[in-house]
Amino acid sequence: MRFRLTLLLILGCLSNALGQSNFYHADTIQEIRITFYESNWDELLDDMYVAGDNDRLTCDLEINGEVLDSVGIRYKGFSSVSTDRTKNPFNIKLDYVHGNQDYDGINKIKLSNVIQDPSFLREVLSYEIARKYMPASQANFARVYINDVYWGLYSNVEDVDEPFLVDHYGESHGSFLKCNPEDLDFDGDNANLGNSYGTDTTDYYPYYDLQSDYGWEDLYELVDVLNENPNDIETLLNVDRTLWMHAFNYSLINFDSYVGYAQNYYIYKQDNGQFNPILWDLNMSFGSFRLADASEHWDGFTIAEAKTIDPLLHLNSVSVYDRPLMRNLFENSTYKRMYLAHMRTIMEENIGTGTYSTRAQFLHDLIDVSVQEDTNKFYGYDDFQDNLNSTVNDLIDYPGLTDLMEARNTYLSTYTGFPGAPIISNVGSSTQNITLGGSISITADLSAEDEVFLAYRYGANDVFTTVTMLDDGTQSDGTSGDGTYGKTLTNIGNTIQYYVYAQNADAGIFAPERAAYEFYEIQSQITSGDLVLNELMASNDLTASDQFGESDDWIEIYNTTQFDISTSGLYLTDDATNLDKWALPNSVIPADGYMIIWADEDGEQGDNHANFKLSSNGEFLGLHYGDGTKIDSVSFGAQTTDIAYGRFPNGTGPWITMEPTFNGNNNFTSVDEIDELEATVYPNPANGNFFVRFDEPKASTIEILSVDGKLLSTQSFSASGSIQVDVSDLISGLYLVTISTEKSPTTKRLIVNN
């Protein structure tokens, strides 16, 4: 058995996120060269922007020396675009003409023109901080050339799109909305997730941009529960992730967000049923945007006020413009303390330690020459030099990053909810060798605590369950009242991911402090038979389709146990000499549950898409751990389109050719009704023989054919009651039975299990 206790940073699918292209590596400056075919390209882009039709102009693109032809380009953004400006932001679609064209897996590039930021640092630095605590875009800088003329230094920000969702959530087919109104109302609710717009989903169309094929009903359900039954909101919302978003926005004074005008964020609904908020558009963080906070400062606030703005104004004071995603959560005293604990973590780890200013200085030096050479920038080179530390005066005042944040840190360090938190130490477990279906006790030492909670789950696609930890001597926690808290979990899975949260009347604290984005983990291997390869289809045409409507090969894995099983550490392969060919996602297969893997060589579509296809001519398929430990395998022969190969009985029996039971039990119904003939064929599957029963005398011919149409036998009858048909000489598998009377022939599938 293998044991692992680690502190993990979860970026959705970690291996994908860490393995992404250096195109977004923050320590590098990319070189992007745009070559337009038309000399009046700027006029054409201006016209497209004014028309608002999101059309694109075709051009050629060169990225770090790699040439891509016929990409599509348009302006991006709202306030950052102007037909009177030379330096506008760009949205570049690499596969605009050539459907498979990309750059290191990236098919869309978002280039921001660094307006509202004399420091040039706000967006890149903010995303770098955010990624420590939640899924957020990668970002760096790019030198952009247009028709071989240096156009300026841009920030290069990863798009929040399907590849982003796959990287961080292992999927991309859920409800996905960009929360930006069509027309921003400076005195309105905008995309605030309030219910003021009405009870019909169409009432919300102008305020949210649906990015998925469906999602309006899911959005309204979220809105309804958030506003009418907020105590039930965790069923639909990742509350912890939402608290992190608010903590980030209030720590770094990023108010061009949900806070100010209720915009510039996404929400994505995972298969686990919870929506996740996703940050977007951070170019006005660090106090660059101060037009509104939707509360006491609804008409704007100064730099001095930004330094000491109350992170609980929407609870302690008023919401001039409704902000239910804050107020309705903060009214829960535990959520409020969790939110402030997250803020304390952000401030202590980044501002209190000075790491943000060290990092800002590094980025400043990295881009210094590129900024100086940028003749289209919106501010002077002296402003760039000054704004890292000092206020720059322009149409508005832009606070110096360090000046703002040092004062903010001083203010928040004594804010109620920051000091006085409990102390958590010695978090651990009663065993290092967990077993599937067994038990484990999680313990931690506490002081200054009133309440202690354990949150745990069995895999990355699971939702954390929260339970109370006790110091009463019953949970492997030592003696009652000794300061050691424990919780014994029974019927556990083979993997446990967990964190501890404690609070008192003053404040709360997490262990690890970046929870739930980070957590502790204990993992063990399952044994052969716990999971099985249960069914496969190597030639799929009409049987099933994936979330993109594609009829790909598929593999069904079945959990034979009564306990949740994590697939972390397991590999699928179609090559017996390469047992770790494709890593399964860290997902939970519930007790007596199924997982479908699409064998389509298309990992960009999600974590459940393997890097190999199945051969319809037959091959090997194996399920193993990375060390070679076998869990299950099968070798199969030539397959027929839309005919499955699976275990019968379900999960335990031998492999047979069979009618597909995609993502379900392989045990078939015992009676197959043929309404057209008023006849019954049974049993199905058949062993040795089967019967055809007619309610009235019928003259009939019964033919048995192989699935490829070869006639195997013919029998004629003229009788009523049941007619026995001998199939004892047939091998186990799927056959076609054609019954002909004076009516049209009817063909049904028959499973023979001899």
Q: Which two tokens stand for residue 351?
A: 């501002």
Residues of the chain with pLDDT under 50: 1-20, 669-676
- Give pLDDT, residue 603: 87
- Give pLDDT, residue 692: 79
* Amino acid letter, residue 396: I
> Which residues 6+ apart lie within 8 Å of 357 measured at CB?
401, 402, 405
Query: Angle formed by the axes of helices 333-346 and 239-251, to 10°?
Result: 50
| Residue 106 DSSP one-character state | B
Check: CB of residue 678 under 8 Å from CB of residue 669. no
By CB atoms closer than 10 A (0-12, 13-18, 19+), residue 558 is: buried
Residue 413 phi, psi dihedral angles, 5° rounding: -60, -25
Count of beta carbons in the 10 Å neighbourhood of residue 165: 26
What is the rounded CA–CA span in Å between residue 706 and residue 714? 13
Q: What is the CA radius of gyration of the chain?
A: 31
Query: If one looks up domain 672-752 in CATH, what number appears?
Result: 2.60.40.3080
- State the sign of the Cα–Cα–Cα–Cα dihedral 368, 374, 377, 381: positive
Q: Where are the domains of the chain?
A: 14-161, 163-352, 423-523, 531-658, 672-752
Check: CB of residue 29 under 8 Å from CB of residue 141. yes
- Give pLDDT, residue 415: 98
One of 1.20.1260, 2.40.30, 3.30.420, 2.60.40 is the CATH number of 531-658, namely 2.60.40
- Give pLDDT, residue 180: 96
pTM of the model: 0.88
Q: Which two tokens stand for residue 57?
A: 């102009």
Check: CB of residue 736 under 8 Å from CB of residue 748. yes
What is the rounded CA–CA span in Å between residue 54 and residue 39? 21
Cα angle value 509/512/518 (rounded, 5°): 125
- Give pLDDT, residue 695: 60
> Does this chain's domain 531-658 share its CATH topology with 672-752?
yes
One of 3.40.50.1110, 3.40.190.10, 2.60.40.10, 3.90.550.10 is the CATH number of 423-523, namely 2.60.40.10
3-state DSSP assignment of residue 585:
coil
Q: Which two tokens stand for residue 315?
A: 């609870």
- pLDDT tens sequence across 357-410: 999 999 999 999 999 999 999 999 999 999 999 999 998 999 999 999 999 999
3-state DSSP assignment of residue 280:
coil
- Give pLDDT, residue 114: 97
By CB atoms closer than 10 A (0-12, 13-18, 19+), residue 393 is: exposed
- Express the helix, strand and coil content of the chain in percent, nearest 5 each: 20, 35, 45
Check: CB of residue 423 under 8 Å from CB of residue 447. yes
> Which residues 6+ apart lie within 8 Å of 270 measured at CB?
169, 171, 174, 276, 461
Best CA proximity match to 176, nearest among 166, 190, 161, 191: 161
- Give pLDDT, residue 751: 81
